Structure formats: structure tokens, C-alpha cells
């Protein structure tokens, strides 16, 4: 009886400690911009995308239009052009490419504010081609291995461009149904959140598919940015997770995103049909 009275008293005591609180939450989104900017050692028009933050998942971002965008190094300056107008997508001249032992500066001027970032580039390297496997009881294949996820020496981003639009029976499909783009990363850290990350959707494709494998070299700061981004996105929601936080960036004035320079190496693979004999 005394125990019941004690528990009842504790309940009333705890209820008496409850106090209503009104949180003064900030309305609206940050006024800073989001920058997606990677330049490479390929001779081509490089693309930089500028947008404003969004408040919901899968929400289309509003483009940052009419900005002044420059890239420079110790020798030259290149002015980027927005195309098409109003898209928030800015292109370098077609002859542009980044070089080793050069320091590149990105300068963005918009609405009276100036954002800057600096980056260098490290050399690319050759690599082993990916491995693919046939799915059980199906005439489809999937990527089984691209690269070791952990490496203390060479951080890299791996882009797979998978195209089976040339395979008979798949030619007339929508491009979303006969193409895929996958990204993998080799980082100098190994996180518990990565090991126990949620499963990702498996992309399957038929024999005859052309896979273009591209390796992007990453500087140590760029690799750390990608690690933090993955901790907040792909690696969250599993058995282990981290407290949400803004990802560190090399952009000034509170802008989001990263400005990086990468050396690219590339090879192509044609998926061969497996031997179906017992």
C-alpha cells in the first residue's frame, strides 16, 4: 500500500514539473545560396549550378539567376555564362580545363553579396575495372564491386554511367528506364554509420549494356566534405547515425556546397552474357 502511494505521489510530482514552453522558431529559409561546382582536367564546358535552399524533400530548388560567376588561377580568369537564361546553370568556355599545381578561385556575386572558394587538384590514377554479377534465375546483371570503400592513400569519387538503350528490346524505352548513373566513394575514413548504412536500391541491366566508369581524384578537404555529406544523407537512418548538422564547406559568406577540382580517368566495359550451362 505504501508503495502504491509512493508511485502515485511521484506521478503527481512529475506532472507538477511540466511547464509549457513556446519555441521562437525562425521562419523561412536561409538567404544564402547552394553551390554545385566541380571542375576537372577535361577540355569542355564545365557546369556550375546555383540555387536557393528548399524546405522539403524532393522539392525543386529555385535557381539563382543573373549572378556574376568567375573562375581564376595564378595565370588567367574565366567568366561563366548562364545558359539558358534564368536556369541558374553557368558554363565555362569550351576550352577550359583545370591543371595540376594550380590554385583555382571561384567568385560568385549575387544580390550584392560575394561568395568565394579556393581549391587545388591532385593527380588521377589508373584503376581496376568494376565487377558485375548475374542475378539468380534472371538474365539481368548488377554491379558487385567498384572499389574498396576505405583507403588511407587515395580518396576518389567513382561515377558509373550505365546504358542499355542499345540492347535489343530496350531501345524504345524512356531514358529513365534504360540508363542509370551511380556514385561510389573511396574515403580515408571508415565510419560505423557507413558499415551499417541502409540498403540502397539495386540497379539491374541486361547483357550488352555499356558501362562507362569514371574516377575523380579528391583532395583531402573535398573527401572530408563528401564524408560529412554522406553521414547526413545516405548513411543516416541505419543502426547507427549522427546528430544532424550543417556540412563543412570551402565556400565563404555562409554559402552551402563545395567547389572542387578533380582529375578524371575513365574506361568502358561491355557486359558479357554469362555461361548458362550447368
pLDDT single digits (tens) 137-184: 788 999 999 998 888 788 999 999 999 999 999 999 999 999 999 999
For the ranges 119-128, 133-142, 258-267, the lowest mean pLDDT is seen at: 133-142
In tens, the pLDDT along 217-266 reads: 999 999 999 998 888 887 776 656 666 667 889 999 999 999 999 999 99
Mean pLDDT over residues 200-218, rounded?
95
Paired residues of 163 in beta bridges: 179, 210
Q: Which residue has the cell 558485375?
A: 132
pLDDT of amino acid 9: 55
SS3 175: helix
Of the pLDDT bands very low, low, confident and very high (cuts 50, 70, 90), residue 97 is: very high
Confirm if 41 and 97 have CB atoms less than 8 A apart. yes
Distance between CA 158 and CA 148 in Å, rounded?
11
What's the Cα-to-Cα distance from 134 to each of 96, 128, 160, rounded to whole Å? 41, 20, 18
Confirm if 88 and 51 have CB atoms less than 8 A apart. yes
Mean pLDDT over residues 97-119, rounded?
97
In tens, the pLDDT along 60-92 reads: 999 999 999 999 999 999 999 999 999 999 999
pLDDT of amino acid 240: 61
What's the Cα-to-Cα distance from 197 to each of 40, 149, 204, 242, rounded to whole Å? 30, 13, 21, 12
Question: Phi, psi at residue 228, to the nearest 5°?
Answer: -65, -40
DSSP assignment string, 34-69:
EEEEEEESSSS--EEEEE---SSTTPPPPB--S-EE
Residues 6+ apart with CB under 8 A from 176: none
In tens, the pLDDT along 35-65 reads: 999 999 999 999 999 999 988 878 899 999 9
Residue ranges of domains in the chain, CATH in brackets: 34-119 (2.60.40), 131-248+261-270 (no CATH)
Confirm if 119 and 130 have CB atoms less than 8 A apart. no
Amino acid at each position: 500500500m505504501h508503495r502504491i502511494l509512493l508511485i502515485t505521489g511521484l506521478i503527481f510530482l512529475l506532472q507538477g514539473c511540466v511547464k509549457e514552453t513556446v519555441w521562437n522558431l525562425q521562419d523561412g529559409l536561409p538567404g544564402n545560396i547552394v553551390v554545385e561546382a566541380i571542375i576537372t582536367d577535361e577540355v569542355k564546358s564545365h557546369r556550375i549550378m546555383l540555387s536557393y535552399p528548399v524546405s522539403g524533400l524532393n522539392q525543386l530548388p529555385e535557381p539563382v539567376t543573373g549572378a556574376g560567376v568567375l573562375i581564376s588561377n595564378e595565370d588567367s580568369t574565366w567568366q561563366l555564362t548562364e545558359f539558358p537564361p534564368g536556369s541558374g546553370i553557368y558554363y565555362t568556355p569550351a576550352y577550359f580545363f583545370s591543371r595540376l599545381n594550380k590554385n583555382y578561385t571561384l567568385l560568385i556575386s549575387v544580390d550584392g553579396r560575394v561568395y568565394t572558394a579556393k581549391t587545388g587538384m591532385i593527380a588521377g590514377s589508373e584503376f581496376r575495372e568494376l565487377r558485375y554479377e548475374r542475378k539468380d534465375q534472371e538474365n539481368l546483371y548488377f554491379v558487385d564491386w567498384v572499389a574498396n570503400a576505405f583507403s588511407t592513400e587515395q580518396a576518389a569519387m567513382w561515377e558509373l554511367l550505365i546504358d542499355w538503350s542499345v540492347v535489343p528490346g530496350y531501345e524504345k524505352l524512356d531514358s529513365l528506364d534504360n540508363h542509370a548513373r551511380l556514385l561510389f566513394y573511396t574515403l580515408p575514413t571508415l565510419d560505423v554509420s557507413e558499415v551499417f548504412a541502409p540498403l540502397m536500391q539495386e540497379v539491374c541491366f541486361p547483357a550488352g549494356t555499356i558501362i562507362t566508369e569514371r574516377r575523380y581524384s579528391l583532395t583531402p578537404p573535398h573527401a572530408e566534405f563528401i564524408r560529412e555529406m554522406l553521414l547526413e544523407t545516405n548513411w543516416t537512418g541505419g543502426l547507427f547515425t549522427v546528430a544532424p548538422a550543417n556540412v563543412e564547406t570551402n565556400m565563404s559568406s555562409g554559402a552551402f556546397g563545395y567547389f572542387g577540382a578533380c582529375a578524371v580517368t575513365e574506361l568502358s566495359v561491355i557486359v558479357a552474357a554469362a555461361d548458362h550451362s550447368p
